[in-house]
Amino acid sequence: MRTTQRRIACFCEATFDAEMPSAADLAQDPEVGELIASGNFGAVTCPACGRRLTPEYPFLLGGVKPVGEIFMVPEADRSAYERSALDYPVGTPGRVVVGFPELAEKVLIAGLGLDDRVVEIMKYYLLTGSRGSADQQEGEDEGPDTDVTVRYRGLEAGRHLFHIVGLKRDEVGVARLADELYRKIAADVETRVAEEPFRDFCVPPWISLRRLTGAAG
């Protein structure tokens, strides 16, 4: 894993230098995947107050099958990325993510051998209340709620687990969708992603429903 020394500012107003990850490869550093999944990747401790911090800096993760490379843009740089105004190169990775939570989600999805486009479409159906049926009438959905964030959390008893944040204050909703829905969407995903609204958030490299909702988490 490659690192870069960064100047970290803590909430206690102390500043300190720390080596932060800048690039890694899952094939060569499998423990990186575990750190990302646990939420401990890039975590540092302030020497002044002891607070645990997870500052975000640009990071390139390689060896992610089948997408190859994932480039993480820090959440603070999201607006600049959307405006193509970043002051550092992103390159041509298979995927771009914004923030650590999205990176962890993409690594999980890839590890399960799933198509992240299908997962994002499932999120869309969760937020709009539709089921993605073939006979759904055009205009039936009202569009996703801009204040709600959906995260994919893996498989549980053969069903796809999602956490939904923002429906109720200080509560996390849980949704479990049958694998049958995943397979149904996957069967014609190429057709779906060529049409609205899916082409607005399923075109690489940043495949994310957040492109529509503007959600921060």
Evaluate if residue 111 carries a pLDDT over 80. yes
Evaluate if residue 146 carries a pLDDT over 60. no
pLDDT at 22: 97
Confidence of residue 139 (pLDDT cuts 50, 70, 90): very low
Confidence of residue 214 (pLDDT cuts 50, 70, 90): low
Evaluate if residue 71 carries a pLDDT over 70. yes
Q: Please give the residue that has the higher pLDDT: either 42 or 131.
A: 42
Residue with tokens 């999944």: 37
Mean model confidence pLDDT for the chain: 90
Does the reported pTM lie above 0.85? yes
Q: Alpha-carbon distance 97 to 106, whole Å? A: 8
Which amino acid, residue 133?
Answer: S
Query: What would the mean pLDDT of 191-210 be, rounded to a whole number?
Result: 96
| Closest listed residue to residue 166, CA positions, set 152, 148, 151 | 148
pLDDT at 135: 36
pLDDT at 149: 87
Tokens of 201: 């958030």
Query: What would the mean pLDDT of 8-33 be, rounded to a whole number?
Result: 95
